[in-house]
Amino acid sequence: MRNPTPLALAALLLGTPVSAQVAVSPTSQSEPDPSITGGVLQDVALWVSPGAPGSSLFLTAYNSPNSGLVTFGVGGEQLDAELTDGPMSAVAVRDGFPLSGVQQTLAVAASINFNGLAAYTVDPDRADRVVRIGATGFLTGTQFSAVALYQNQDSGRFYVFAGTSRGVLQQYELAGDTGNVTATLVRTLTTTGPIAGLAVDEASDSLFVTQQGQGLWRYAAAADADVTGQQLSIQGSGGLSANVGRVALYRARNGEGYILVADTGADAFAIYERRARTFVGSFRLADEDGGVIRANDPVALAVSASSLGTTYPDGLFVGSDAFSNPQRFLYARWPAVAEAFDPALRIDTRFDSDGGTDGGTDGGPGDGGGSGGPGPRPGPGNRPEESGCSCASASVPATAAFALLALVRVGRRRRD
């Protein structure tokens, strides 16, 4: 049989994925009230309570008339439901928004009844933890499918990114001087497909966008930046199936960490390097009994590097399950996700949470990792932190390049 040429083998290597899907067992699940039966769980945003991780909240968006903006605790218990506001299609939350001169935790939800965006303050110490700002929505006239909050670290200005199922993606500047939230359009970004998910990385001023049929994209988040984006992963290849959901960030120190995407069509969650933006692998949430409890057709997800009490001392991950009724999300410890990969992913626990999130991740403005706790725990094979790279897996092009070099050398030896 004729041996393949080095170029043929290199081409084969370049088109071959290097990571298989792994399984992670969930530890628990949310327990929505039976009254929201029939609601589709569209989105989840994690707010990390500064100084009281056990009081952290999951704000979820259900699009059923019987549900809406529903709040859960870290233990999965339902705490609040803004049922009178009607169904919601997306939600984001972030600390530090100046409302009448007082910094508040701001949540923004895409409201179907208000035909636009509605704003809420979040306070775990109130009897009603989530309270709407104003009588109706603050931005109306458009049905949005995804939202993300962003504060520019240079100017301190607040923004909301809002996308639609028709592929419109806009950035609005937010203000709260009058006691209500107002929005001013600053730019419309160029997109190529329906907007499925949004997440902001404030450390790099990056907006990550999942677009149906177009995969994962990166845009500059600054209001005066270019409106065109960079495609990071193509659906149907590059780690994603043909149907994607939300996107979230696991923030480690020094700009390291991971971008996570709900891969709805694969019943899985795809992971990319935060800095290098290369595909690492994918995992599914399923119990050890063959997946009786599992995240089916996941759309929503959230992840945190923060210590969230005794149950989740090193961070957690949650993903939605579309087959349960009511639909719910499953909890998993971040170390269980990280250690399911070989080499293991980074575990970089933060103990000084600033609170806040941008729709599916607890980020806030900080990248610091914490001053009172231990440093990051790289998995086997990871470089030390001072190298500036977590390097949890080799990229396909690099692997192929090394293989090609070796094959070329072998070919030369045979000719010699």
The backbone torsions φ and ψ at residue 264, rounded to the nearest 5 degrees and listed phi first, read -60, -45
Contact 199, 359 (CB under 8 A): yes
Contact 44, 91 (CB under 8 A): yes
Question: What pLDDT shows up at residue 291?
Answer: 58
Going from the N-terminus, what domains does the chain have, and what CATH number goes with each?
1-18+396-416 (no CATH), 19-393 (2.120.10.30)
CA distance 86 to 164: 19
Contact 194, 212 (CB under 8 A): yes
For 255-282, how does the pLDDT look when each residue is reduced to its tens digit (9 = 90+)? 999 999 999 999 999 999 999 999 999 9
Record the pTM: 0.83
> What sign does the CA torsion over 230, 235, 241, 244 have?
positive
Question: What pLDDT shows up at residue 246?
Answer: 98
Question: What pLDDT shows up at residue 362?
Answer: 52
For 291-302, how does the pLDDT look when each residue is reduced to its tens digit (9 = 90+)? 557 888 899 999
Give me the residues of the chain with pLDDT under 70, please: 1-20, 37, 289-292, 351-416
Cβ neighbours of residue 253 closer than 8 Å, sequence gap 6 or more = 348, 367, 368, 369, 375, 376, 385
Considering only CA atoms, which of 381, 319, 346 is closest in space to residue 25?
A: 319
Question: What pLDDT shows up at residue 124?
Answer: 92
